[in-house]
Each structure stands twice: as C-alpha cells, then as structure tokens.
C-alpha cells in the first residue's frame, strides 16, 4: 500500500519554511518502522518559497 503524506510543520509561526530537522527525523522514524520512501517533492507558495513537502511512502510487504 502506498500513501501520500504532506509535511508542513514549521519551527515557529515566523519561520519561512518547513522544519527540515523534524522532517529528516520523521523520515528516519518511518524507515525504521519499515516504510520505504519513494519520493519527496517540494511544494511552493505564490512567491516561490517552499511551503511544504509531499512524501510518497510505501508500506512494508507482508
């Protein structure tokens, strides 16, 4: 089974982009649980800055 996950958590209200440290730690946590990361895509806002990331993950085969 594949899932699409949108990551848009920021360090604070005034941050201009997603918290990359938290994103990396969550990716490591998913991989340690057996999920396979297939794709990471940056989503931009109107002015071209990165607003969020879309992750495509696949569950472990059972």
* In the predicted structure, residue 5 carries a pLDDT above the cut 80: yes
pTM: 0.83
- Of residues 62 and 45, more confidence is placed in 45
Report how many domains make up the chain. 1
- Of residues 11 and 56, more confidence is placed in 56
Range of the domain at 28: 2-58
Q: How far apart are the first and last CA of the chain?
A: 10
Q: For residue 62, what pLDDT is reported?
A: 61
Task: Read off the pLDDT band of 14 (50, 70, 90).
Answer: confident
């Amino acid at each position: 089974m594949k899932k699409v996950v949108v990551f848009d958590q920021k360090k604070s209200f005034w941050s201009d982009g997603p918290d990359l440290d938290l994103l990396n730690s969550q990716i490591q946590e998913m991989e340690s649980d057996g999920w396979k990361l297939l794709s990471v895509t940056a989503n931009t806002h109107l002015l071209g800055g990165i607003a969020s990331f879309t992750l495509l993950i696949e569950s472990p085969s059972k």
